[in-house]
Structure 1
Amino acid sequence: MPEYLSPGVYIEEFESGGVPVAGVSTSTAGFLGLAQRGEAEGLPELVTSFADFQRKFGGYLPENQFGEYRFLSYSVEHFFINGGSRCYVMRATPDDAKSSVNEVYDFIKFNAKNQGSWGDRIRILIVPSSKAKTQIFEDFENGQYKLKSSIGFNEGDIVEFIDGEVKQINKVIMVQDNLVTFEKPFEGEVIDSEILPTKLLYTKEINIQISYGDEVENYEKASLNISKSNFIEKLLKKSNLIEVKVDSDFIKDTVTPFLKFAGEKPDREKVWIDLTDGSDGSLDKLSPANFIGSDNGPGKRSGIKSFIDNDDVSIMLVPGVTDPSVQLDLIAHCENKANRFAIIDIPKEIKKVNDLKQWRNMFDSSYAAAYHPWVKVFDPVDKTNIFIPPSGSVAGIYSRSDNTRGVHKAPANEVVRSCTSLDCQYSKGEQDILNPIGINLIRAFTGQGIRIWGARTLSSNAQWRYINVRRLFIFIEESVKRSTDWVVFEPNDAELWARVKRSLDNFLTGVWRDGALVGSSPSDAFFVKIDNTTMTQDDIDNGKLICIIGVSPVKPAEFVIFRFTQFTAEASGE
């Protein structure tokens, strides 16, 4: 409580109402798969367009190298084509993938930022430069000189004194104001106090240009002085293309940075450095472990586990990877996080109904849905049509449906954009068998295009049969969770309970008005209970606030039935 120690008027503010509950996004997808480039460890990268994906992860992978593991790029492309707006992408790599390197020099090693043959197309241009220049005003002998300005000169810098055509190389030992001590005295007369001097002292650095296709990075005034802020290792940490490692044992001699690269050809004006020996890896070294990933702690996770720290993703998929171990791990990840939904691809070669039923028996989860068959799209690389897994397109449709209708609308009876045909066509009779067990078919209808014609999860529990019901609960639960942090450590009394209830009532009323809940009034659509009936004194003593929320979600009209009979005026008595 505030203290009042002298007479006066005091103004206080306090919060009496509930804090609004904001709805979370449900349309952000998380992709995992093989790519040309990109980090395979750490946090997934945000991608907002297919062009953005190409800049960060490269283009399409060749079929002859990775077969049906190559579909990440195609799936991300069709995610955006079908209405997706943003996603997070994580790269997986085979065990034998290697980064491109250059180990020509004993004092420095360049390597591509991450694995892949893409690094072999990186070129590095080195040219000499100078960060600072000045005049020498006074010679104190024994290598100590007073400079006009010592700004830009640091201990360990390699410098060059130029008097006409005469050049001398030296190293800075100590700097104190404008008094600088060098490794050795300069030869000859070095004093020049003229307004337009002819004798100048320069620091020696290099400019670096790194190019990869149309992507170019420029770093100016890089130094080999490890104590400087423009030390080459520190400067190139910003690079998206390469990494640099300097061996300090080989940079202690008095040689200018450029001459270290020019070597036996000191008259060169520039030096080109190429990286080699990069590898995308091979199919033989690819296993489910590469996609499942490893948990080596924050910032070091890979595969599916790299999405543990990402709370923005609400849809998860590993396009084209149909290994049961990977799919079961993906579903387990979604169930454990409880704030995302998995889209599963069925193996392309499985087409018979009995085989599909057998495949389906491996799964039972309300946090996943399966789609079949694969869809035919145009491949801009081979200039022909190919079949790709449907999960990327389906994720885009989820996003499109969420943004246009809401997460409560079943993402079905929606056109699959940029799809010319299907790998196989199933009949109504075959769907009569597959739909009840949770296999969502994509079908072509005369005059209506190619559409998703199923909205079921892979759950055996009838309460969680429909995708939109599970995703609506994810939306409500995650929205409440993220917007009620303010409640933690507040006094657990009736006043707090009333504020929490008011916040939840307002939020759920908005959800009901959007058409996500069944009922002619809010009281028919949901209830919020938070009082002495929902928690005991023991709960309160143990720091628990228990709130029970019930909602009545809308279910899709999956079976539309029109019943006909003959009608005559005589039969009706008119």
Structure 2
Amino acid sequence: MADYLSPGVYVEEFDSGAQPLEGVSTSTAGFIGLAQRGPTCGLPLLVTSPADFHRTFGSYLSESAFGSYRFLSYAVEQFFTNGGSRCYVMRVAPSDAKPASNEGRVSEALSIAAKNPGQWGNLVNVTLSPASKAKTQIYEVTDKRYRVKNATGFYAGDVVSFNDGSGELQWNRIVSVQDNVIELAEALEGDVVDTALLPSKVLATSEFTLQVVFADELEVFEKVSLNPEAPTYVDKVAGRSNLVDVRALTATTDSEAPFATVTGETEGRVSFVLSGGSDGSVENLAASDFIGEDRGPGRRTGIQAFIDNDVVSIMAIPGVTDANVQLSLVAHCENLGSRFAILDIPREKTKVADVLTHRDLFDSSYAALYNPWLSVFDPLDKRNIFVPPSGTMAGIYSRSDTTRGVQKAPANEVLRGVVGLDVQYNKGEQDILNPAGVNLIRSFTGQGIRVWGARTVSSNGLWKYINVRRLFIFLEESIKTGTNWVVFEPNNDQLWARVQRTIDAFLTRVWRAGALMGNSPSEAFYIDIGRTTMTQDDIDNGRLICVIGVAPVKPAEFVIFRITQKTGTE
């Protein structure tokens, strides 16, 4: 309670009503797969358009080199074509993939390597040129200490050159800088004082400019040095690069410029191309590359990298149908409880019996299977190719969530950008596959190509529909995120009432949006909190227990019209 010590009027604010609870997004996808370039370790990167993906992860991969592992770029493009707005992408690379690096004279002093593995690094061009960030004239000399006009830009450890006006340069190194007094390692020779308005004798720093070019990307790091104490140290400045990793292997010397130390040249420009980059071979890919490693926060790979991401709600590994990988993805979604997996079926498994064999590997309400593969245009080969449906379906999930809401089953939706199907299934075949939890994509005369199934791969009848599971993910994550303010509040009747009002207002809004059954909120949900849900032992141990029941809407999967003949006597 505040202290009131002197007379006066005090105005205070306090919260008396329910905290507003906002629903979380359910339309953000997460993709994992092979790409031309991009980081293979760390946090998944946000992508907001196909162009954004190509800027970060490169172009399409060739079928001859990558085979069935090349579909990430097509899946992301299909995701945006079908209504997706944002996704996170994590790249996977074969174990024998290598980053390109520099060779020759420069590599002895400066290590420059492509930011991540791949042949793309062999196209990175690097140019070095001499530069200077600061120069000044000398006013006064005291032994090795020189009072200058302006010491801004001069740092201890910097290599400097003194030009006496004749073109002859004396090289030296700064020991210390204080105010406008610079102390050098060695005394300069001759008369160095110049007080003229336009001086001919100049003391200047010596650096070099690093320019990196890849395709239409240009990065310029101006006036960098080999002095670890300077803010222009090449390791610090070039650390911002999206193309290369730069590391100095040598320090400054008193006898020559950093440009000469690095290149062996005293003037001009030195250009070279990185080499040795390799995409690796698909033969060296294993399920463990996609499953990833848990190396700690910010250093995870593959599926494990998405542990650090709490935004994604839809997951897919396009075209990768290895059972170990898919089961790991499903387990990831189940463990976190906040995302849903979209799985592909191997393209060669088209017969009903073969499809069922693959489907029998799974039993989860956090995953759905789709078949067959889809025909889309390939900008790389300038022809139609077949791609896995997971990327397209992720886009449809996102589109349906945005236009109708997560309670709407992502089915009976038209597939955009799809010109054909790998297999045309008929009603009889779907009569077998649909009850088993395999969602087919079918072509209907005059209605285009549509998703014609909305089931999970769960054997539990309560969770057989995709929209029911995703609705509960939405409710659970929204309530969890929106009630963080409750933690460490006094666990009493006032708090219970506030929590009930908060959740009641949120669920009423969800019911009005058509996500819950019932003609009134009381029919759609109930909230129970207080002495009926908590014992004194719960309260003593810091537990607040709130029981919530909701009645989700189910899709009208089977529409039945019963028609009979009406006779005149009836």
Task: Give the TM-score normalised by the residue count of structure 1.
Answer: 0.97
1:206 to partner: Cα distance? 1.1
Give 1:562's aligned amino acid. Answer: F
Distance 2:200 2:467 in 1: 79
| Aligned residues of 1:23 and 1:479 also touching (Cα < 8 A) | yes
- The Cα of 1:509 is off from its aligned counterpart by 0.4
Kindly indicate whether the alpha-carbon contact (under 8 Å) linking 1:107 and 1:251 is maintained by their aligned counterparts in 2: no
Maintained 8 Å contact 1:501/1:530: yes
Secondary structure at the aligned position of 2:385 is classed as strand
Q: Which amino acid aligns with 1:161?
A: F
CA distances 1:222-270 after superposition (whole Å, capped 9, x unpaired): 111111011000001100000011124x54453202212341x434x11
Indicate if the aligned counterparts of 2:108 and 2:262 stay in contact, CA closer than 8 A.
no
- Aligned AA for 2:180? N
Question: 2:470 — aligned with what?
Answer: 471
The CA RMSD measured in Å over matched residues stands at: 1.2
What is the one-letter code of the residue matched to 2:247?
K
Contact 1:261-1:271 at 8 Å conserved across structures = no
Is 1:401 the counterpart of 2:400 in the alignment?
yes
1:198 Cα deviation from its structure 2 partner: 1.1
C-alpha offsets along residues 337-376 of structure 1, whole Å, 9 cap, x if unaligned?
0000000000000011111111111100000000000000
Query: Structure 2: which amino acid aligns with 1:215?
Result: E
Contact 1:29 1:314 in 2 (8 A): yes
1:302 aligns with 2:286: no
Superposed CA offset, 1:1-31 (max 9, x none): 1223344433332212111110000000000
Q: Match of 1:50, as an amino acid?
A: P
Kindly state the Cα deviation for residue 54 of structure 1 after the two structures are TM-superposed: 0.6
- Greater shift, 367-376 or 488-497, is seen at 488-497
Deviations 1:135-159 (A, max 9, x none): 1112223x33221222211111111
What's the secondary structure of 1:101's corresponding residue?
coil
Secondary structure of the structure 2 residue equivalent to 1:51: helix
Partner residue, 1:368: 367
TM-score, normalised relative to structure 2: 0.98
Q: Counterpart of 1:44 in structure 2: which amino acid?
A: P
The 2-side partners of 1:86 and 1:59 are apart by 18
Distance 1:562 1:534 in 2: 45
Residue 90 of structure 2: aligned partner:
90
Distance in 2 separating the partners of 1:253 and 1:315: 58
Deviations 1:169-199 (A, max 9, x none): 2211222322222222222222111011111
Question: Corresponding residue for 2:131?
Answer: 129
Residue 256 of structure 2 corresponds to residue 259 of structure 1: no
Structure 1 residues 149-164: aligned runs within 5 Å = 149-162=150-163, 163-164=165-166
Give the distance between the partners of 1:529 and 1:420, measured in 2 at CA: 51
**Corresponding residue SS for 2:308:** coil
Q: Which residue of structure 1 aligns with residue 146 of structure 2?
A: 145
In the alignment, is the contact (CA less than 8 A) between 2:23 and 2:474 conserved in 1?
A: yes
Q: Please state whether the residue corresponding to 1:102 is helix, strand or coil.
A: coil
Secondary structure (helix, strand or coil) at the match of 1:120 reads helix
Distance 1:145 1:521 in 2: 86
CA distance in 1, matches of 2:2, 2:311: 40
Separation of aligned partners in 2, 1:185 and 1:538: 80
Listed as ranges, the matches of 1:130-529 within 5 Å are: 130-141=132-143, 143-162=144-163, 163-248=165-250, 251-263=252-264, 265-267=265-267, 269-529=268-528
Q: Which amino acid aligns with 1:229?
A: P
- The one-letter code matched in structure 2 to 1:17 is G
In structure 2, the partner of 1:77 is: 77
CA–CA separation in structure 2 for the residues paired with 1:280 and 1:470: 39
Q: Extract unaligned runs of 5+ from structure 1.
A: none
**Amino acid corresponding to residue 242 of structure 1 in structure 2:** V
The 1:251/1:4 distance shift into structure 2, 3 A limit, reads: closer
Letter of the structure 1 residue corresponding to residue 518 of structure 2: G
Which secondary structure state, in structure 2, belongs to the residue aligned with residue 407 of structure 1? Answer: coil
Partner of 1:9: 9
Deviation larger for 252-261 or 307-316: 252-261
**Alignment gaps of 5+ in structure 2:** none
Alpha-carbon distance in 2 for matches of 1:50, 1:243: 26
Q: Deviations over 1:59-101 (max 9, x none)?
A: 1111111100010000000000000000000011111011101
SS at structure 2 position matched to 1:560: coil
SS of the equivalent of 2:480 reads helix
